Structure 1
Amino acid sequence: MARTSKQAPEEDFEEHILDTDVGDEMRSSFLEYAYSVIYSRALPDARDGLKPVQRRLLHTMDDMGLRSDRGHVKSARPVGEVMGRFHPHGDSAIYDALVRLVQPWSLRLPLANGHGNFGSQDDPPAAMRYTEIRMDAAAEAMTESINEDTVDFRPNYDGREMEPAVLPAALPNLLVNGASGIAVGMATNIAPHNLIEVVQALRHLIKHPKADLDDLMRFIPGPDLPTGGKIVGLEGVRDAYATGNGSFRMRASARIENVTPRKKGIVVTELPYNVGPEKVIEAIKKLVQAKKLQGISDLKNLTDRHKGLNLVIEIKNGFIPETILEQLYKSTPMETSFGINAVALVDGQPRTLGLKQMLEVYLEHRIDVVRRRTTFRRGKAADRLHLLEGMLLALLDIDEVIQLVRSSDNRGEAKERLMSVFDLSDPQATYILDLTLGRLTRYDRIEVEKEIEDLRRTIEQLDAILGDESLLRTVVGDELNEMAQTFGTPRRTVLLESSGQTATAASPLEVADDPCWVLLSATGLLARTSDDSPLGEVDRRVKHDTIVSVVRTTARGEVGVITASGIVRRISVLELPGLPPSAHSPNLQGGLPLSEVADLDSPALALMTFDETGPGIALGTRQGIVKRVKPDHLSRDQWELISLADGDAVVGATLLTTGDEQLAFVTSDAQLLYFSASLVRPQGRSGGGVAGIKLGAGQKVVSFGSVADVDDAYVVTVAGSSDALPGTQNGAVKVSPLSIYPAKGRATGGVRCQRLLKGEDGLLLAWVGDGTPMACATSGSAVDLPPVSDRRDGSGVPVAQPILAVAGPPAARLGATLAQDPDVGD
């Protein structure tokens, strides 16, 4: 059997030979190495979502005072500090980790802010001596309260310093920024997610600990990648959320447009996660050179830091752009897969985690952090109160205190006499002896008494949190909501449940010009479905979307998209994916993102047709203007429907079917007004409209729509604080029948439709329309609305997550409206 020898010094050579079995030695050494790689290098902790090197970088920058409101320093400084104090590995590996914390295409929420060349999706960064770094505000949230005994510390590699075993992590970093790493015998790959959606799921789990996966996926329908793009097929996502293992396909976002007056082209604006434009360009060039891809005349990379990604692929005349785009998806990195393998450390052991498990581990950590922080702050407040109570005793009899101190031989004797005469503790007596003469004024005594009262209230509040588990969990939920309001951003990645073919590859002459419906969803998806689809029978409480507008046209016809800037943009119905007649779900999964059909300068509000025989379109603006205009069919791609004043914008647009509908305004101060459309005289496209509603000082219109039947119409209002970031505030929702409100004349003031409570200074959004209303969140998932209230001045009811849009049944009226303030966002 092969053996190795561990030798002693030469003089004792024969006496100290130790025979060791090679198999045992290899087994022991390999296990030690594997454990070191798994625990100390490659895998993130499920609590803060950070690998050791990332945690050490953030802790070191926090320790160095590299805050987001201070100047940048050379990147070599924190790298050197981390290498010398905590991370005994090469500086290149540490700098690579630091660079990743800066890159917005790598992390959904970057944790560091850099100056200089930190690379691109294709190019490496400059050396650390050329770049500068500091913490981002999100990193400060990760390290906040670390000095308040919120986490455990352990010795560093040489035992000379202490480092945190985990960060307090006010942000759910593991899900928000994801993770990737290769250890020994295992690997991890977790996709990034949207912070707002993750926080809403966490808050739901706080209130409903037994929530199942379907409940949580209402808030987190899928990953939200830093580079945007589309996720095609959600079956793998659900598998990953259930078991920790699954895969999904990522697809680039592209649209077909005229790149020259006579040529069409494919404009790529977003690529799959971890795919750079150079990879795509190289793959396309190889296919063209090998004659496996035909029809491409030129390829330009117009990407810059201001406009972002912009790849323009020019198509030769005679070739169908839709067919070439499908070939690009199949043969280039414009479509690739992402395999989720959610492995993270839990209690020091690698575990494969599903979505609920990751949320539960993080919640348990935050609850422990808040409990320890509360205990620490209570102890500090109690110590301070103890000192001030002693100080107040001295101030009440300051002459005797001064006499006692002056008559003492030394400081020690003075302290003992103070403790004996006034029944003080050692810290209280020491604090009194350290007082300066300036603290002996009457005004200072009043300040001490006020501080004592404040401290007692603070201690009472902290004791209440420590004594009530439900209150403790509420504090955790409120802090998470604050993080969402501070750092949350709208979703970037479009989720497509089916394959979502971009468009038919057939020629327009091969498609019958049959009647069809064109539908627009709240998350900006477009599709068409056959004329025999029973839109009125659709159950709108479906997964991942809500229809906000539907018009009837033909397969080879054209429709217009009305935007908040008062522009109508013409699009071809043939470019939209056709849903089969059996697919009656209005969630439009398989639909085409609006951004791929038209480049809009403002949010889309509604669809319109170009039927000039109807009563026209009604528009309502933020400044209370109403306008009726006849649809025109101009030869241009876009044109104005209304002349807007400075600072004004369209908040609602609706197709009129009879001209006798009721037009309704809702303002930010919860005033509702509706009147007959017959009171508004139609104008030409250049007209600026007429006064629709009288606004109070500083108020604006948040909703405009129309209803055909007042007795079957409803009003939905959402109240909240205007200081919160759009899409981060749940708000208080009220649903009421429109019939309880009286009709009034045009250009008058409205009647109150919701009573605002403390913390609510106005309406975030509103909707007035026919049929039972339904709401959806930014993620596209349905939001349950409260029961209908018959109180005109009643207050709202909190809902589970922020509402993006409200709409009625698709067939209630063809001109369904997205009744929302453009400031709130589409």
Structure 2
Amino acid sequence: MSENTENQQDGRIIQINIEEQMKTAYIDYSMSVIVGRALPDVRDGLKPVHRRVLFGMNELGNNSNKPYKKSARIVGEVMGKFHPHGDASIYDTIVRMAQPWSLRYMLVDGQGNFGSVDGDMPAAMRYTEIRLQRMAEAMLEDIDKETVDFTLNFDDTLEEPTVLPTRIPNLLINGASGIAVGMATNIMPHNLSEVIDGLIAYIDNRDITIEDLIKHVKAPDFPTGGIIYGYEGVKQGFETGRGRVVVRGKVNVETSKAGRERLVIYELPYQINKAALHQKIAQLADDKIIEGISEARDESDRDGMRLVIDLKREAIANVVINQLYKYSELQTSYGINNVALVKGRPRVLNLKDMLAEFVDFRHEVVVRRTRFDLRKAEEKAHILQGYLIALDHLDEVIALIRASRTPDEAKEGLMTRFELSEIQSKAILELRLQRLTGMERDKIKEEYDEVMKLIAYLKDVLSDEGLRFKIIKEELEDVKKRFGDERKTEIQYLASEMRMEDIIAEEDVVITISHLGYIKRTSAYDYRQQKRGGRGALGGKTREEDYIEHLFVASTHHTMLFFTEKGRCYWLKVYEIPEGEKSGKGRAIQNLINLPTDDKIRAIIDIKDLSDKEFISSHYIVLCTANGIIKKTLLEDFSRPRQNGVNAITINEGDQLLEAKLTNGNSQIMMAIKSGRAIRFPENTVRDTGRGAIGVRGIEVDNDKDEVVGMICVNKEDETRTVLVVSEKGFGKRTDIEEYRITNRGGKGVKTINITEKTGSLIAILDVTEKDDLMITCKSGITIRMAVADIREAGRATQGVRLIRLDDSDEIAAVARLDEQEEQRLDEEAQEGMEGNESGQEGSSATLGEAPVDETPAE
């Protein structure tokens, strides 16, 4: 098919094939969109409109240390000089670069209304004001040193850069999204510190694998935080340039004063509209798709996001959270599609490709900048050399100039007489008289020497590739120091994906669970060791009615078995427990396991490996209840984790599970009760039963006023262990286990501590060695760590010594044993802390001396 087109200029009629014409025109159009509008450049991570805005602001002197300028002025400047495509596209670009929820690292510093995460529109450009962020200035640094190519603007009157000479790896840290013709891009934002660590690792080893790079650049990092749920899609995106990342909002479970639970959404997935999510949740509740919600309201303010969902009394928090993830945008998935322009052509890039392209670009910038600096330095040295020649022959130069009729004659005379260049002669003629003084002459000589040193260094840089890459690394480390920050987005791995133990560093952590069910893990080194009787340090900020109830040490690779007071067992990997500050509250345990609201954790067991068949078939879980019931079950029965937990023991009405211990079947069991009595009997007197059994009587308890406070299981062959008992008011002692005679199971037992008003009731019984440490936690949140060796042995029926000084209204809430060796935990900080406590002081509180041991014999 053909079309006749008349050429009006010369009257000729040209035959054109319409199919060919359409094909050619469409290809031209699509390439224009791909290169000039929709895709970012791999080097600076910017599309043309972003680049023109930043360059235009820089040209106007709209820097971070200058006053703000009206957005309309910048829009007019950019549109009139570089981007003739309408003011809306330019202002929309400026707005997005100024929104903290849109860009991981903002490039524009805005003043005024730039919209909100609820989808509100920004104010018109005549109302808002802007200036460059410091990070954007780092992207423009050295632009005047011929580091990048310039091209003519749309009307050939000005020049604009084809790329910015950025020190910031902007493509990775801010990402990009765009739809071109026949292709699209969707690059996720990442953490600057991680990306720079990855760049440095690549510079150090060009053959580094993507698997090794992932150890540095762990995953995308969104400006709105959230949780990356599952890692396989992220890994695929890093390896191939295409993948899928699932992001969840962060939710906390809170309990109101009335005892009702509520969910608080405080971080959203990237690019999710909060107002729309709020409306959707309300709709899900109205339509009865999610049954447990009574009300949803937005309590967000300047202190942060807070979308509150009140739950009905019978609702289980974790179930409602999972339903919100399923039915609302609280869980959203994003397609990773790393398409960027490489040498003007679109290309799909993996993680290593993007890092390599940026490093190559930085190398090119450093070379071009060095050449420019060298040329300028040589020009300056040339002039200074002329000055020095003139100063060495000053009288002759002055006489020659005075004798010349015109400046040109003087210039020619200087060039001829002293063999100077035209540039040097001009510079001498323009020399100010004050520079002829003695001091100024010395300064010129010093300046010349400095410039010659600089020239030598710049020549070294140009001849030594290793030195160039050292400069690139130093500049990257400087960028990290100036702009680097912590990750905002958490990474949550799926159990089915991989052996997470290979990714998670193995270290010992302190795990704390509060009375109201908040859990966290903290590095064991955060707790300094103190002398017995010290005041202690704050181990967890809790609400007035809350206090730390469980505290123990475990490796991040282990599995925790949680036993509840209603006799159920739940599983959790230690690395799945959220990390928190030593003084932080932690995360509600309902967020991590499907724990009913009327149940709570009572005992925890740390298992190294549940897949070790030999271990699980030769070890037992021994359980005891507050009413003195004891039960033994093979560990194998607890080796298959289930989402909703399993029954560990059937609990009678009015009773509750108190303690769980791991044994090898040959232990001596001791149980102690509140009134100060303890019983000792062999483990083999308790036969093992299935998970659903009730158990048998272990010690006789007066149910009206007494209860079991703890149970220990000690191997017969372990003679190094002693029995430690602690009372509510902070008294305790160690006693040899042989002082407790072996009796029949189910008896009354013998006295283990002399209970008085001063000591308070018995609170804990533990088996310890002199190498152990104790961690004692009070209901007020105070925690003290001390060496067991500091607590001396005493008779079975004595009241013991004071372990921790308590306020009148305070009591001990939990006592835990730490199996750490002395040399493993005394790092430099702890050593200083211990030296500061040699006098037994913590803050302004003095240590109490040892209380006298009461040697009154047992009755």
**TM-score, length-normalised on structure 2?**
0.66
Task: Say if 1:568 and 1:641, in contact at 8 Å, map to a contact too.
Answer: no
- The aligned residue for residue 193 of structure 1 is 190
2:15 to 9, 15, 19: 19
1:142 to 107, 129, 139: 139
Q: Is the 8 A contact 1:641 1:686 kept in 2?
A: no
Which residue type is aligned with residue 159 of structure 1? D
Deviation of the 1:215 alpha carbon: 1.1
Deviations 1:100-124 (A, max 9, x none): 1111111111001011111112222
Aligned position for 2:115: 119
How far is 1:590 from its partner? Answer: 4.4
Distance 1:573 1:237 in 2: 36
Partner of 2:782: 641
SS at match of 2:143: coil
Q: Which residue of 2 aligns with 1:645?
A: none
Give the distance between the partners of 2:332 and 2:835, measured in 1 at CA.
Answer: 57
Q: Please state how far the C-alpha of 1:679 moved relative to its aligned partner.
A: 13
Find the counterpart in structure 2 of residue 713 from structure 1. Answer: 824
State the match for 1:233 in structure 2. 230
Residue in structure 2 matching 1:108, options 89, 104, 120: 104
Q: Could you tell me which of 765, 777, 784 is aligned with 1:631?
A: 777
Deviation at 1:78, TM superposition (A): 1.5
Which position in structure 1 is the counterpart of 2:478?
482
Cα distance per residue 1:619-662 (max 9 Å; x no partner): xxxxxxxx998422x3xxxx3427xxxxxxxxxx757555579x
Return the match for 1:247 from 237, 244, 247: 244
Aligned equivalents of 1:81, 1:396: Cα separation in 2: 52
2:64–2:134 CA contact under 8 A, matched in 1: yes
Matches for 1:415-564 after TM superposition, within 5 Å: 415-498=411-494, 542-551=502-511
CA distance in 1, matches of 2:496, 2:725: 35
User: Among 132, 142, 151, which residue is 2:129 paired with?
Assistant: 132
Q: 1:218-267 CA deviation, whole Å, 9 max, x = no partner?
A: 10111111100100111001100010000011000011011443321001
Structure ID, larger Rg: 2
CA distance in 1, matches of 2:787, 2:513: 15
Change over 3 Å in CA distance of 1:70–1:359 after alignment to 2: same
Aligned counterpart in structure 2 of residue 292 of structure 1, from 289, 292, 300:
289
Q: Deviations over 1:52-107 (max 9, x none)?
A: 10011111111111000001111111211211211121210111111111111111
Q: Secondary structure at the match of 1:713?
A: helix
How far apart, CA to CA, are the structure 2 residues paired with 1:256 and 1:336? 21
Structure 2 distance, partners of 1:161, 1:226, is 36
Question: Corresponding residue for 1:29?
Answer: 25
When residues 258 and 571 of structure 1 are mapped into structure 2, their CA distance, relative to the original with a 3 A threshold, is farther
Work out the CA distance in 2 between the residues paired with 1:714 and 1:260: 40
Which AA in structure 2 matches 1:641? I
Q: Which residue of 2 aligns with 1:79?
A: 75
Q: What residue is the counterpart of 1:387 in the other structure?
A: 383
| TM superposition shift of 1:550 | 3.9
2:561 and 2:572 in contact (8 A); partners too:
no
- Does the 8 Å contact 1:560/1:571 carry over to 2? no
Alignment partner, residue 413 of structure 1: 409
2:782 aligned partner, one-letter code: L
Cross-structure match for 1:682: 804
Match of 2:607 in 1: none
> Are the equivalent residues in 2 in contact too, given 1:614–1:657 (CA < 8 A)?
no
Answer with 137-146 or 77-86: which moved more: 77-86
Matching residue's letter, 2:509: S
Alignment CA distance shift 1:486-1:320 (3 Å): same
CA contact (8 A) 2:234 2:244 kept: yes
The answer to whether 1:363 aligns with 2:359 is yes
Counterpart CA distance in 2 for 1:309 and 1:554 is 25
Q: Is the 8 A contact 1:37 1:183 kept in 2?
A: yes
Aligned to 1:210: 207
| Structure 1 residues 478 and 565, CA gap change in structure 2 (3 angstroms) | farther
Aligned equivalents of 1:380, 1:561: Cα separation in 2: 58
SS at match of 2:66: coil
Distance 1:171 1:431 in 2: 40
Are the equivalent residues in 2 in contact too, given 1:225–1:492 (CA < 8 A)? Answer: yes
Structure 1's 590 and 22: CA in aligned 2 closer, same or farther, altered over 3 A? farther
Hey, what's the Cα distance between the residues in 2 that align with 1:23 and 1:211? 49
Amino acid corresponding to residue 359 of structure 2 in structure 1: L
Distance 2:245 2:438 in 1: 71
Q: In the alignment, what sits opposite 2:169?
A: 172
1:98 is matched with 94
Unaligned runs of 5+ in 2: 527-536, 563-570, 588-602, 605-708, 711-723, 732-772, 793-799, 811-816, 841-859
The residue correspondences of 1:269-284 to structure 2 (distance < 5 A) are 269-284=266-281
Q: Is the 8 A contact 1:500 1:590 kept in 2?
A: no
1:311 paired residue among 303, 307, 310: 307
The one-letter amino acid of 2:179's match is I
Question: Distance in 2 between the 1:433 and 1:586 partners?
Answer: 83
SS across alignment from 1:200: helix
Residues 144-163 of structure 1: pairs in structure 2 closer than 5 A: 144-163=141-160
The residue that corresponds to 2:795 in the other structure is none
Change (3 A) 1:460 1:586: farther
2:61 corresponds to 1:65 = yes
**Aligned mates of 1:316, 1:322 — CA distance in 2:** 13
The residue number in structure 1 matching 2:677 is none
Letter of the 2:438 partner, please give it: R
- The AA in structure 2 aligned to 1:185 is G
Whether the 8 Å contact between 2:184 and 2:337 is mirrored in structure 1 is yes
Q: From the superposition, tell whether residues 250 and 499 of structure 1 become closer, same or farther in structure 2 (CA, over 3 Å).
A: farther
Q: CA deviation at 1:683?
A: 2.3
Matched residue pairs, number?
621
Equivalence for 1:5: 4
Q: CA deviation at 1:546?
A: 4.8
Counterpart amino acid of 1:179?
A
Partner residue, 2:661 = none
1:514-535 Cα distance to aligned partner (Å, 9 max, x none): xxxxxxxxxxxxxxxxxxxxxx
Superposition RMSD on alpha carbons, in Å?
Answer: 4.0
Q: Is the 8 A contact 2:549 2:777 kept in 1?
A: no
**Residue in 2 that maps onto 1:604:** none
1:89 paired to 2:85: yes
What is the alpha-carbon distance in structure 2 between the residues aligned to residue 657 and residue 299 of structure 1? 51
Summarize the Cα distance change of 1:588–1:223 in structure 2 as closer, same or farther, 3 Å threshold.
farther
| CA distance in 2 between partners of 1:482 and 1:494 (Å) | 26
Is the contact made by 1:275 and 1:333 (CA closer than 8 Å) also made in structure 2? yes
Task: Determine helix, strand or coil for the equivalent of 1:484.
Answer: helix
Pairwise CA distance, 1:456 = 1.5
* CA shift digits 1:455-482 (9 cap, x unpaired): 1221122122111101100100110000
Match of 1:258 among 255, 259, 276: 255
Does residue 324 (structure 1) correspond to residue 284 (structure 2)? The answer is no
Shift of 1:143: 0.5
SS of 1:683's equivalent in the other structure is coil
Seen in structure 2, the aligned counterparts of structure 1 residues 586 and 173 have a Cα distance that, compared at 3 Å, is farther
Find the counterpart in structure 2 of residue 348 from structure 1. Answer: 344
Local SS of the residue matching 1:631: strand
Mean CA deviation greater in 31-40 or 454-463? 454-463
Query: What is the alpha-carbon distance in structure 1 between the residues aligned to residue 81 and residue 207 of structure 2?
Result: 43
Distance change (3 Å), C-alpha of 1:20 and 1:599:
farther
Tell me: CA distance 1:543–1:555, structure 2 relative to 1, closer, same or farther (3 Å): farther
**Cα contact 2:192–2:480 (8 A) shared by 1:** yes
Query: Are the equivalent residues in 1 in contact too, given 2:774–2:818 (CA < 8 A)?
Result: no
**Counterpart contact for 1:221–1:544, Cα < 8 Å:** no
Once the two structures are overlaid, the 10-residue window that deviates more, 141-150 or 552-561, is 552-561
